[in-house]
Chains A and B, each alone.
Chain A
Amino acid sequence: MEREIYLDNAATTPVHPDVAEAVMECMLHDFGNPSSLHRMGLRAEKKLKETRERIASALGVDPEGVFFTSGGTEANNLAIIGTALARKREGRHCITTKVEHPSVLNTFKYLEKEGWEVTYLPVNRDGVVSPDDVRRAIRPDTVLVSIMHVNNEIGSIQPVQEIGRLLKAQGNSPVFHVDAVQSFGKLDIKPVQWGIDLLSISGHKIHAPKGIGALYIRKGVKIHPLQWGGGQEKGVRSGTENMPGIVGFGEAVRWLEEEVDRGYLYRLKGILVAELTERVPSAVINGPPPEEGAPHILSVSFPGIRGEVMLHALEEKGVYVGTGSACSSRRGHMSHVLEAIGTKKDVAQGAIRLSLSYLNTEDEMRQTARIIGQCVKELEGFVRR
Chain B
Amino acid sequence: MQRRVYMDHAATTYTKQEVLDEMLPYFKEIYGNPSSVHGFGREARKAVDLARERTAAALNVSPEEIYFTSGGTEADNWAIKGVAWANKERGNHIITTSIEHHAVLHTCQYLEKMGFEVTYLPVDSYGLVYPEQVKEAITDKTILISVMFANNEIGTIEPIKEIGQIARERGIYFHTDAVQAVGHIPVDVKDMNIDLLSLSAHKFYGPKGVGALYIRKGVKLHPFIHGGAQERNRRAGTENLPGIVGLGKAIELAVSNLEENSKRLTAMRDRLISGVLNSIENVRLNGHPTKRLPGNANFSFEFIEGESLLLSLDMKGIAASSGSACTSGSLDPSHVLLAIGLPHEIAHGSLRLTLGDDNTDEDIDYVLEVLPGIVKRLREMSPLFAQHKGGKHYV
Question: Is A27 touching B14 in the complex (CB atoms < 8 A)?
Answer: yes
- Residues on B with beta carbons closer than 8 Å to the beta carbon of A69: 70
- Residues on A with beta carbons closer than 8 Å to the beta carbon of B311: 37
Compute how far the CA of A24 lies from the CA of B240 in the bound complex, rounded to whole angstroms.
16
- Residues on B with beta carbons closer than 8 Å to the beta carbon of A12: 31-33, 36, 238
Question: Is B102 touching A228 in the complex (CB atoms < 8 A)?
Answer: yes
A:13-49 near B, CB below 8 Å: 13-15, 17, 19-20, 23-24, 27-28, 31-33, 35-41
- Residues on B with beta carbons closer than 8 Å to the beta carbon of A39: 314, 319
3 smallest beta-carbon distances between A and B, as pairs: A230-B326, A242-B209, A211-B240
B:318-358 near A, CB below 8 Å: 318-322, 324-330
- From B207, B209, B228, B319, A103 is in contact (CB under 8 Å) with B228
Give me 8 other A-B pairs in contact (C-beta within 8 A), A242-B208, A244-B209, A320-B38 excluded: A35-B11, A37-B314, A70-B71, A229-B326, A238-B103, A240-B202, A326-B33, A329-B36
User: Considering only CB atoms, which chain A residue lies closest to B227 in the complex?
Assistant: A103
Is A337 an interface residue, CB under 8 A from the partner? no
Q: A24-B20, A36-B325, A226-B224 are in contact. Are A70 and B12 (CB under 8 A)?
A: no
- From A32, A71, A76, A322, B12 is in contact (CB under 8 Å) with A32
Is A327 an interface residue, CB under 8 A from the partner? yes
- Residues on A with beta carbons closer than 8 Å to the beta carbon of B307: 37
Nearest-neighbour CB distance to chain B for A303, whole angstroms, equals 21
How many contacting A-B pairs (Cβ < 8 A)?
A: 276
Question: Is A230 touching B70 in the complex (CB atoms < 8 A)?
Answer: no
Is A360 an interface residue, CB under 8 A from the partner? no
A:178-228 near B, CB below 8 Å: 202, 204, 209-212, 226-228
- Residues on B with beta carbons closer than 8 Å to the beta carbon of A245: 208-209, 240, 243
Nearest-neighbour CB distance to chain B for A74, whole angstroms, equals 6
Nearest-neighbour CB distance to chain B for A31, whole angstroms, equals 4
Q: Determine, out of B72-80, B132-140, B181-189, the stretch whose residues face the partner at the interface.
A: B72-80
- From B74, B110, B242, B329, A35 is in contact (CB under 8 Å) with B329
- From B223, B237, B322, B326, A71 is in contact (CB under 8 Å) with B237
- From A41, A204, A330, A331, B11 is in contact (CB under 8 Å) with A41
Compute how far the CA of A12 lies from the CA of B36 in the bound complex, rounded to whole angstroms.
9
Q: List 15 A-B contacts (CB under 8 A).
A: A11-B33, A12-B31, A27-B14, A28-B20, A31-B15, A36-B12, A36-B321, A41-B325, A71-B238, A102-B229, A209-B240, A227-B103, A240-B12, A243-B209, A327-B228
Chain A positions 94 through 128: 1 when the CB is less than 8 Å from some CB of chain B, otherwise 0: 00000001111011011000000000000000000
- Residues on B with beta carbons closer than 8 Å to the beta carbon of A70: 69-71, 74, 209, 237, 240
Question: Is A230 touching B209 in the complex (CB atoms < 8 A)?
Answer: no
User: Considering only CB atoms, which chain A residue lies closest to B32 in the complex?
Assistant: A12
Is A141 an interface residue, CB under 8 A from the partner? no
User: Considering only CB atoms, which chain B residue lies closest to A106 in the complex?
Assistant: B226
User: Considering only CB atoms, which chain B residue lies closest to A213 in the complex?
Assistant: B237
Compute how far the CA of A111 lies from the CA of B318 in the bound complex, rounded to whole angstroms.
49
Question: Is B322 touching A37 in the complex (CB atoms < 8 A)?
Answer: yes
Compute how far the CA of A243 lies from the CA of B11 in the bound complex, rounded to whole angstroms.
13
Is B165 an interface residue, CB under 8 A from the partner? no
Measured CB to CB, the residues of B under 8 A from A are 6, 8, 11-15, 17, 20, 24, 27-29, 31-33, 35-41, 69-74, 76-77, 101-103, 106-107, 109-110, 200, 202, 207-210, 223-230, 236-243, 307, 310-311, 313-314, 318-322, 324-330
- Residues on B with beta carbons closer than 8 Å to the beta carbon of A24: 20, 24
Nearest-neighbour CB distance to chain B for A213, whole angstroms, equals 9
Compute how far the CA of A280 lies from the CA of B106 in the bound complex, rounded to whole angstroms.
59
Nearest-neighbour CB distance to chain A for B63, whole angstroms, equals 18
Is A6 an interface residue, CB under 8 A from the partner? yes
User: Considering only CB atoms, which chain A residue lies closest to B225 in the complex?
Assistant: A77
Among B14, B69, B70, B243, which residue has the most Cβ atoms of chain A within 10 A? Answer: B70
Nearest-neighbour CB distance to chain B for A44, whole angstroms, equals 9
Compute how far the CA of A6 lies from the CA of B241 in the bound complex, rounded to whole angstroms.
18
Q: A70-B74, A103-B226, A103-B227 are in contact. Are A311 and B37 (CB under 8 A)?
A: yes
Question: Is B39 touching A308 in the complex (CB atoms < 8 A)?
Answer: no
- Residues on A with beta carbons closer than 8 Å to the beta carbon of B8: 32-33, 36, 38, 40-41
User: Considering only CB atoms, which chain B residue lies closest to A331 in the complex?
Assistant: B229
Compute how far the CA of A357 lies from the CA of B326 in the bound complex, rounded to whole angstroms.
38
- Residues on A with beta carbons closer than 8 Å to the beta carbon of B329: 35, 37
User: Considering only CB atoms, which chain B residue lies closest to A34 in the complex?
Assistant: B325
User: Considering only CB atoms, which chain B residue lies closest to A318 in the complex?
Assistant: B39
Compute how far the CA of A311 lies from the CA of B32 in the bound complex, rounded to whole angstroms.
15
Question: Is B38 touching A311 in the complex (CB atoms < 8 A)?
Answer: yes
Question: Is B73 touching A238 in the complex (CB atoms < 8 A)?
Answer: yes
Is A155 an interface residue, CB under 8 A from the partner? no
Is A315 an interface residue, CB under 8 A from the partner? yes
- From B27, B33, B69, B240, A23 is in contact (CB under 8 Å) with B27
Q: A227-B77, A228-B106, A229-B76 are in contact. Are A33 and B12 (CB under 8 A)?
A: yes
Q: A35-B326, A38-B314 are in contact. Are A11 and B36 (CB under 8 A)?
A: yes
- Residues on B with beta carbons closer than 8 Å to the beta carbon of A8: 32-33, 36, 38, 40-41
- From A211, A241, A315, A323, B39 is in contact (CB under 8 Å) with A315
Nearest-neighbour CB distance to chain A for B4, whole angstroms, equals 9
User: Considering only CB atoms, which chain B residue lies closest to A329 in the complex?
Assistant: B37
Compute how far the CA of A28 lies from the CA of B107 in the bound complex, rounded to whole angstroms.
32
Chain A positions 55 through 98: 1 when the CB is less than 8 Å from some CB of chain B, otherwise 0: 00000000000000111111011000000000000000000000
Question: Is B31 touching A15 in the complex (CB atoms < 8 A)?
Answer: yes
Nearest-neighbour CB distance to chain B for A353, whole angstroms, equals 10
Question: Is B70 touching A17 in the complex (CB atoms < 8 A)?
Answer: no
Question: Is B242 touching A209 in the complex (CB atoms < 8 A)?
Answer: yes
Compute how far the CA of A234 lies from the CA of B313 in the bound complex, rounded to whole angstroms.
28
Compute how far the CA of A372 lies from the CA of B352 in the bound complex, rounded to whole angstroms.
62
Compute how far the CA of A247 lies from the CA of B32 in the bound complex, rounded to whole angstroms.
21
A:311-355 near B, CB below 8 Å: 311-312, 315, 320-323, 325-331
Nearest-neighbour CB distance to chain B for A358, whole angstroms, equals 15
Is A239 an interface residue, CB under 8 A from the partner? yes
- Residues on B with beta carbons closer than 8 Å to the beta carbon of A331: 229
Question: Is B6 touching A40 in the complex (CB atoms < 8 A)?
Answer: yes
- Residues on A with beta carbons closer than 8 Å to the beta carbon of B20: 24, 27-28
Chain A positions 231 through 266: 1 when the CB is less than 8 Å from some CB of chain B, otherwise 0: 110000011111111000000000000000000000
- Residues on A with beta carbons closer than 8 Å to the beta carbon of B102: 228-231, 238
Question: Is A20 touching B226 in the complex (CB atoms < 8 A)?
Answer: no
Question: Is B12 touching A211 in the complex (CB atoms < 8 A)?
Answer: no
Question: Is A228 touching B230 in the complex (CB atoms < 8 A)?
Answer: no
Compute how far the CA of A11 lies from the CA of B41 in the bound complex, rounded to whole angstroms.
9
